[in-house]
Amino acid sequence: MELLHDLGMGFFHVFQSFDFLMLVVGLLVGMAVSIMPGLGFVMGVVLALPFTYKMQIEPAVILLTAIYFSGTYGGAFTTILYRIPGEPSDVPLLWDGYVMARKSGPAKPLGWALVAALAGGLASSVVMVLLAEPLTAIALKFNSEDYFAAIFFGLTTVVSLAGKSLVNAVISLCLGLLVACIGVDSTYGVNRFTFGVPVLGDGVQLVAVLVGMYGLGEVFKRLGQGLTLDNTHASTGKVQTHFPSLREIWQIKGTLLRSSAIGTLLGIVPGAGATITSFICYGTEKQYGRRRAQLGTGMPEGIVAPQIGSTASVAGHMIPMLTLGIPGSAATAVILAAFLLHGVQPGPMLLTDPTSHQVVYTIFASMFVSIIGMCIIGFFWIRLVVKVLTIPQSVLNAVVVLFCLIGAYASRNSMSDVWMIVAFGVLGYLFEKFRFPISPLVLGAILGPIGENNFMRSMIISHNDWTVFFLQPLSGTLMTASFLSILYPLAKPVVRSLLGRSKPA
């Protein structure tokens, strides 16, 4: 009953005028940026971050969370209508969504995508609300060794899932940890990597890292690319959504349950973002689904499975971020940065502190409202939303650069932050050009100081005995799992090679 009371109070706060306005703005922005190929919901969350400086924590996080939720759904429009995935997570949606649109028109596949987003989002949000208190109770029993091991596990998992090259991911993570070391050491109070430059004494601002790497870096990359769209649907407004019947939905109940469970569970794993979850949900359906042989020919299961996985992963990512302070994806890393910018440290104390307890349940309530809101916008105002596709790329790039620079300057009213964001923008472009994953660097910069504090505290308490991380049951298990997550990508090709040799010719 207490949970329902807190959630009810959360809904009351969400429907306060300013909070609700930010939620609606977030839904529209998330849908718009995810529709434009090349932008994406991560950039939407990053660009919105500087505008939250002067807000209270509730509307700030509601705005960013709404962008995140609607961004996982908005990309389905361009995927189904134009065969252009708005997000990498929309690629599996392409294989059946676009084919169905070619066969019977786009209205039906858009309806299936909407039903999937609604079902996956609501199911995972309910699970998240139910798990938040138990996970917080467990996290409160963590000591500094356990906390460092949990952060170490999160970082290694992100690295192992970050991309095709483990070496590139490790280099990216190390650069992020190096960025986190710049400034005054929190334990001994000495300058590190400041090189006598006063502005580096305060460390590198998270806003510069996030907006530079994701915002300016993406614009620099797109400047050398031409992108043309067959925006016939957008210009003529001949876009609508048709819901599938209840009988049709009942026929794929197995897909709905399977994909919701996989999406929520994988969402909890740090690093398993919407893209990985979407592909795994589609792959599971391809392997175990009732009509698996027909997938790829325009089947509803091929639309529902990846869309559910993508949307359900959002609520799953919020669980470790709110209860442990460990972001599960790039977007939740930005939301974590918003908490830190407002002086609030996500983690187990968030739910136990009376002042922040209601903030968490307001965020929970905003997630339910966001899911329903994005479906309403997707159904009634899709014709208006796809008009975004008519904006010229040159104008769009100029707007993104403008928002990035304003956001950098607004942080501390300092031109040094502007130059810093440009430097990270160039670094982000180089990362994209040479196929280095950005997420490990960003997470390293955010989690580095937290991990370092807990590491130093553990070493001081244990008199520099490094085995302390392996002697406690929880920290020992997490450290072992961390090394296994690193060794798994290295050992996988070797195992495959050995199995291939053992097969008879």
3-class secondary structure, 184: strand
Positive/negative CA dihedral, 74, 77, 80, 84: negative
Share of the chain above pLDDT 70, in %: 85
Asked whether the beta carbons of 163 and 437 are under 8 A apart, the reply is yes
Would you state the pLDDT for residue 5? 83
Positive/negative CA dihedral, 407, 408, 409, 411: positive
- If one compares 228 and 246, the residue with the highest pLDDT of the two is 246
* Dist CA 267 CA 308 (whole Å): 12
* Dist CA 182 CA 193 (whole Å): 5
Query: For residue 120, what are its two tokens?
Result: 């996956």
Strands (E), 378-496: none
Would you state the pLDDT for residue 21? 92
* Dist CA 214 CA 136 (whole Å): 31
* Dist CA 118 CA 124 (whole Å): 10
**For 12-45, what is each residue's pLDDT tens digit?**
888 888 989 999 998 888 888 777 655 677 778 8
- Average pLDDT value for residue range 372-385: 76
Q: Comparing C-alpha atoms, which of 60, 5, 13 is closest to residue 362? A: 13
Query: For residue 332, what are its two tokens?
Result: 């939740």
Asked whether the beta carbons of 100 and 234 are under 8 A apart, the reply is no
| pTM flag (> 0.85) | no
Would you state the pLDDT for residue 107? 79
pLDDT of 504 higher than 70: no
Query: For residue 361, what are its two tokens?
Result: 């349940």
pLDDT of 502 higher than 60: no
3-class secondary structure, 192: strand
* Dist CA 312 CA 130 (whole Å): 15
Which residues sit opposite 191 in a β-bridge?
A: 184
Query: For residue 39, what are its two tokens?
Result: 């932008």
Among 139-148, 213-222, 236-245, the minimum mean pLDDT is found in 236-245
Q: Comparing C-alpha atoms, which of 108, 96, 105 is closest to residue 303? A: 96
Query: For residue 140, what are its two tokens?
Result: 């409160």
pLDDT of 164 higher than 70: no
Q: State the amino acid at position 38 in one-letter form.
A: G
Burial of 115 (0-12, 13-18, 19+ CB in 10 A): buried
3-class secondary structure, 15: coil
* Dist CA 166 CA 486 (whole Å): 8
Asked whether the beta carbons of 437 and 169 are under 8 A apart, the reply is yes
pLDDT of 66 higher than 60: yes
Would you state the pLDDT for residue 231? 52
pLDDT of 237 higher than 60: no
- Average pLDDT value for residue range 449-464: 87
* Dist CA 372 CA 70 (whole Å): 10
Share of the chain above pLDDT 90, in %: 1
Token pair 């932008």 in the structure block, residue: 39
* Dist CA 335 CA 102 (whole Å): 38
Radius of gyration, alpha carbons of the chain: 23
93 pLDDT tier (thresholds 50, 70, 90): confident
Quickly list H helices, 140-213.
144-161, 166-181, 206-210
- Average pLDDT value for residue range 494-502: 65
**Which residues have C-beta within 8 Å of that of residue 156, sequence separation ≥ 6?**
482, 483, 485, 486
Would you state the pLDDT for residue 505? 46
What one-character DSSP code corresponds to residue 215? Answer: I
Would you state the pLDDT for residue 321? 79
The rounded mean pLDDT for the chain is: 79
**Which residues have C-beta within 8 Å of that of residue 404, sequence separation ≥ 6?**
47, 211, 212, 215, 216, 219, 421, 425
Would you state the pLDDT for residue 226? 56
Token pair 């590139």 in the structure block, residue: 168
- Average pLDDT value for residue range 467-488: 84
